[in-house]
Amino acid sequence: MLTLKNIDAGYGPTTILQDVSLDVKAGEIVTIVGANGAGKTTTLRTIVGQILPRRGKITFQGEDITRLHAHDVVDRGIILVPEGRQLFPDMTVRENLQMGTYRKSARSDQESRLEEVLTLFPRVRERLDQNAASLSGGEQQMVAIARGMMAKPTLLMFDEPSLGLAPIIVSQVFDVVRQIAATGTTVLIVEQNVFTTLKVADRGYVLENGSIVLADTAPALLKNDHIRRAYLGI
């Protein structure tokens, strides 16, 4: 469904990603793990069109999307739940969710999707008419995920959804990821929480210094010695 082939990308004169190739198949949960600064966020921003790669090719559902602007990539159904939530601070939670339905193919059946999303996040329902800026960090993360779901994504990408959340909330977030995938949405997830993510994922890539150093099924990665030493602390 999504393929990156030999991608080089970076900021200004610095190259961060080097020769990154990966693919995500329809219906899968795929994860990219890696240390701070490895280039995980850069990878997701390149996919979504916020960074133009210097080399390589990105295809989505058979179409070359390498040089598309972000809003056109989003129109194709690739939605990113960004690192740090990035809510619209002076809008209510309801308006934030409505922004999720901005892309054309998400405009129909908004009401029923809102109902589904609020069933997953009862706390968000209680906060609908509050300004997003007034929510707690955990609540904001739920709204960010809910907003992404409102966009009716074909591929939903998460950038560290559990960052800064209490353990109980983290397990809720992963439950939601599992439920989203169960409804047929393809998921690409970047996480520090390597163990929990690999438990949920089908396959994973390990990114170090901007390059993919390892790719395997999630169960195999959980048993891999390098992973266990470097990321699981075992």
Partner 1 sequence: MTTFLQIITNGLMLGGLFAIVAIGLTLIFGIVKVVNFAHGEFLMVGMFLTWMITTRMGLHPFASVILVVPAMFVLGALTQRLLIQPLMGAEDDHVQIFATVGLSTALMNLALLTYGADIANTPTFGLRAPIELGPVRILTGQLYIFLAAIALVIALQLFLKNSQTGRAIRAVAQHRVAAELMGVNVPRIYILSFGLGAACVGLAAVLIAPLYPTSSNIGTYFVLTAFVVVVLGGLGSIPGAFFGAMVIGIVDSAAGYYIGSGLREAVVFGLFLVILILRPSGLFGKRMTLSHLS
Q: Which residues bind partner 1 (CB under 8 A)?
A: 48, 50, 69-71, 74-75, 79-80, 82, 86-91, 95, 98-100, 102-104, 147, 151
- Is 15 or 131 the residue whose CB approaches ligand ATP more closely? 15
Question: Whole-number minimum distance, CB 58 to partner 1, in Å?
Answer: 16
32: CB partners within 8 A, 6+ apart: 22, 40, 43, 188, 189, 190, 204, 205, 206, 207
Interacting residue with ligand ATP among 34, 77, 82, 161 (CB under 6 A): 34
- Minimum gap (Å) between residue 89 Cβ and partner 1: 6
CB of 38 to Mg ion, least distance (A): 8
Q: Which of 31, 41, 186, 197 binds Mg ion (CB under 5 A)?
A: 41
Residue 37 sits in the site that holds ligand ATP (CB under 6 A)? yes
Closest separation in Å from C-beta 198 to partner 1: 26
Cβ proximity to partner 1, 53 vs 82, nearer residue: 82
Measured in degrees and rounded to the nearest 5, phi and psi for residue 45 equal -70, -30
Which residue, 138 or 161, is less far from Mg ion as judged by CB? Answer: 161
Quickly tell me which residue has 């901007």 as its tokens. Answer: 210
From 4, 30, 40, 187, residue interacting with ligand ATP (rule: CB under 6 A): 40
Residue 38 lies near ligand ATP (rule: CB under 6 A): yes
Q: Count the site residues for ligand ATP by CB under 6 A.
A: 11
Under the binding rule (CB under 6 A), the answer on residue 204 touching ligand ATP is: no
Q: What residues pair up with 15 in beta bridges, in sequence order?
A: 10
Question: Which one, 40 or 76, has the nearer CB to ligand ATP?
Answer: 40
Nearer to partner 1, 98 or 211 (CB): 98
- Residue 38, CB half-sphere, CA atoms under 13 Å: how many? 19
Smallest distance from partner 1 to CB 193, Å = 22
Which residues, 49 to 88, sit near ligand ATP by CB under 6 A?
83
Is residue 102 a contact residue for ligand ATP (CB under 6 A)? no
In SS3 terms, the chain reads as CEEEEEEEEEECCEEEEEEEEEEECCCCEEEEECCCCCCHHHHHHHHCCCCCCCEEEEEECCEECCCCCHHHHHHCCEEEECCCCCCCCCCEHHHHHHHHCCCHHHCCCHHHHHHHHHHHCHHHHHCCCCEHHHCCHHHHHHHHHHHHHHCCCCEEEEECCCCCCCHHHHHHHHHHHHHHHHCCCEEEEEECCHHHHHHHCCEEEEEECCEEEEEEEHHHHHHCHHHHHHCCCC
- List residues binding Mg ion (CB under 5 A): 41, 83
